Structure 1
């Protein structure tokens, strides 16, 4: 699986590892194939495969004949036959695995689609190829301006230049048939190149552009998936998924291809389950199907007349009820079968480390002793405190005010042990003396 910064580059140059066209791990190319027969020698007398697979922009691959018997390996840049001129691509697969890929795609070795390889790309070929690739962004932007001016109902999704820079392929998507003859004339005159228009579907467009799916990984169609099969809503119904188009749709706007991945497993598991339209007949009333849990072999039924409660039954219980109904026998009620259903205790996670805390080795923090600032204050019960008194009032006045509020007369305390101070001598007293 390639990283997002590597595979989404228009020039297929990985940005993450800052490599010049090839990744150090060999996994930054779209739809890359591992040649597991590369280290094995051919049997005596058998000639090596003279057809190689060449990769172009955004994972586009074609097969080419190695007529001159060049020593090619994966990652070599080659100049191949174009229509017209020549194109430049990278060798993605060689050896005996090419036969399997050609058989998979239904291409014969003598087919006209299998063209030939001219040579290994020289530095001049690579420079022209890179210069043509650098013009793709500008060409796509100006092409969309021409589309909007002509008012055609089509979307220009991508532009790919040929290796010699004399031809460009414009990939577009459209819901209806579009007459783009005037568009081809305008594009050819604007860029002075040969123009080829190629319509692709929404899935192919998402595969070419790339992106990240709801699973958090890169799109399957842009990394390894080549067989884009048809996906129906029946696949979601078999898997008991809610038919929510926002959750079932992918980046292309169609149903996700991953709905087909586990469909065969669900179909095999559903062979023992009864049909959903089967009605269970009881003395209390008819019961209809609500939902099921395929891999736990559980089904939920409810009465037609009273749908307030769902009854959970096992697959064996439902089959037993169906056989009794086929013999024209009715069960008493679904409650009797639900009572017999004993659930297995759930295994919860246990604390294998122990009940010790993670902070048991930390030094405990010492509590700072607060100084008793209220040491000289009079301890009073809370119910006798009056919060409406002014703050700056002296303590003696506060006590008198509180006693007056309570209806008690202030009591003066006489301290006999207290020594009386002599009166202060005034200036008149000193003169008289």
Structure 2
């Protein structure tokens, strides 16, 4: 609760400072509830409270509620002044610190919020109501729930309240909010990558028009200019005043300039650099002109004279030489997976020719010369086969031997 990332978080920069001995601490405490809802309560019993601590407070409609302390001490006085609240008007009190039973009931109530919201949406659809229930906030004692919804107009939800009271057996409160308030309660991330301004620090929602985008030379793309709420982004107004001051030095009605080479048309205006870019019809390049030159040429056109060719102001394109970097280079992914295999091959020692070697068991290893001679013999025999000098087959020799022998039948006759 005090990490600095909460909605509408306030940093207590007085927490590390020692207060005077006779100082009476401010007895009003700021308490934070679900979403960005905050309220002020009187610490009647002078309880010692720290930021992020749970307290049981007095709600506006009976029972009790549970919240977290978001600010104490003198900074609460500044928050009251900021919200135009007088300390005398604060009437609700802090009852006590929560017991274990209070914490269990509070956690059980918070677990029911998601299911209750979806059931309420289904009841609204069955009745055909044009409304969107965006959030549900249960009271700490689990006797009341506040339903936040958005709608384009007024909605008659009397029948819906009856059905929800029968289904949930609690007291029902319906509260209509705007699109921006809905985004503030739900939170989220913007296109800039940071958390939404409306859910972190922005509380004053000012109107934003498309004129703010035109003054800043932004493309009128509704998908890019709209925020999570569906309205124009609030950040379009952040730099609008700076652009309005800079536009005072930019001449108006200079969309075209009559020159000796033809009519040049305005393509782009760099407001803060005070440079205006022109181009001729059919030309591929733009010509930058400073503001005082544009004024000078515009005055010449009003007098009926044509200005000189704008290509005189065009700067030649210089080839950018790539700097030679001698520093560290990232070579991740450039190495081959088989780079270690080549190194292992190089490390293998060649065996000397003609020498006999013995292995660890004492057996002799055939020398390389003998292997080479055997290979040569095999090669020569293969060459002879190819040349036609085939060796005599073994079955031919056996055949000649059989011719010299007499058969067994002739032995008996003799």
Q: Which TM-score bucket, shorter chain as reference?
A: 0.7 to 0.9
Contact 2:55 2:98 in 1 (8 A): yes
1:311 is matched with 286
Contact residue 259 and residue 306 of structure 2 kept, 8 A: yes
1:323–1:345 distance in 2 versus 1, CA, 3 Å: farther
Is 1:89 the equivalent of 2:89? Answer: no
How many angstroms apart in 2 are the aligned matches of 1:234 and 1:348? 42
* Aligned length, in residue pairs: 360
Q: Secondary structure at the match of 1:156?
A: strand
Identify if the C-alpha distance between structure 1 residues 43 and 368 changes in structure 2 by more than 3 Å, giving closer, same or farther. Answer: closer
Match of 1:235 among 212, 215, 228: 212
Task: Tell me how far apart the structure 2 counterparts of residues 41 and 210 of structure 1 sit (CA, whole Å).
Answer: 36
Partners of 1:138 and 1:253 in 2: CA distance: 26
1:18-417 to structure 2, matched below 5 A, reads 22=1, 26-42=3-19, 47-85=24-62, 86-111=64-89, 115-275=92-252, 278-303=255-280, 306=281, 308-309=283-284, 311-316=286-291, 317-325=293-301, 329-338=305-314, 341=315, 351-353=325-327, 365=342
1:48/1:95 contact within 8 Å kept: yes
Shift of the 134–298 alpha-carbon distance from structure 1 to 2, 3 Å rule, reads: same
Cα pair distance change 1:346/1:138, threshold 3 Å? same
Asked if 2 retains the 8 angstrom alpha-carbon contact of 1:211 and 1:218, the reply is: yes
Q: Find the residue that maps to 1:151 and give its secondary structure.
A: coil
- Matches of 2:166 and 2:312 in 1, distance apart? 82
Aligned-partner Cα distance in 2 for 1:355–1:193: 67
C-alpha displacement at 1:74, in angstroms? 0.6
Larger radius of gyration: 2
Cα distance change, pair 324–46 in 1 and its aligned pair in 2 (3 A): farther
Residue aligned with 1:57, SS: coil
Query: In 2, are the aligned partners of 1:231 and 1:256 still within 8 Å (CA)?
Result: yes
- 1:33 is displaced (CA, Å) by 1.7
CA gap of 1:350–1:69, structure 2 versus 1, over 3 A, is farther
Distance in 1 (alpha carbons) for counterparts of 2:179 and 2:200: 16
Instruction: Quickly say closer, same or farther: Cα 1:261–1:343, change in 2 above 3 A.
Output: farther
The offset of 1:196, in angstroms, is 0.8
TM-score normalised over the length of structure 2: 0.74
Q: CA RMSD in A?
A: 3.8
Would you say the 8 A contact 1:311–1:335 is kept in 2?
Answer: no
1:225-252 deviations in whole A, cap 9, x for unaligned? 3333322222222222211111222222
- Give the Cα–Cα distance (whole angstroms) in 2 for the partners of residues 289 and 334 of structure 1: 12
- Does the residue aligned with 1:58 lie in a helix, a strand or coil? coil
Distance 1:41 1:328, change over 3 A: farther
2: CA distance, partners of 1:144 / 1:230: 30
Q: 1:213 to 1:280 in 2, by over 3 A?
A: same
Other structure's SS at 2:162 match: helix
C-alpha deviations, 1:409-433, integer Å up to 9, x for none? xxxx9x9xx9x99xx98849x86xx
> What is the SS of the residue equivalent to 1:365?
helix
- CA spacing shift, 1:217–1:302, aligned 2, 3 Å: same
Q: Tell me how far apart the structure 2 counterparts of residues 142 and 355 of structure 1 sit (CA, whole Å).
A: 59
Q: Deviations over 1:70-113 (max 9, x none)?
A: 2222112111121222211001111222233223222222336x
Alpha-carbon deviation of 1:278?
4.7
Gapped regions of structure 2 (runs ≥ 5): 347-375, 377-382, 405-414
Unaligned runs of 5+ in 1: 1-21, 370-375, 377-394, 396-412
User: Is 1:73–1:91's contact at 8 Å kept on the other side of the alignment?
Assistant: yes
TM-score using structure 1 length = 0.71
SS at match of 1:208: helix
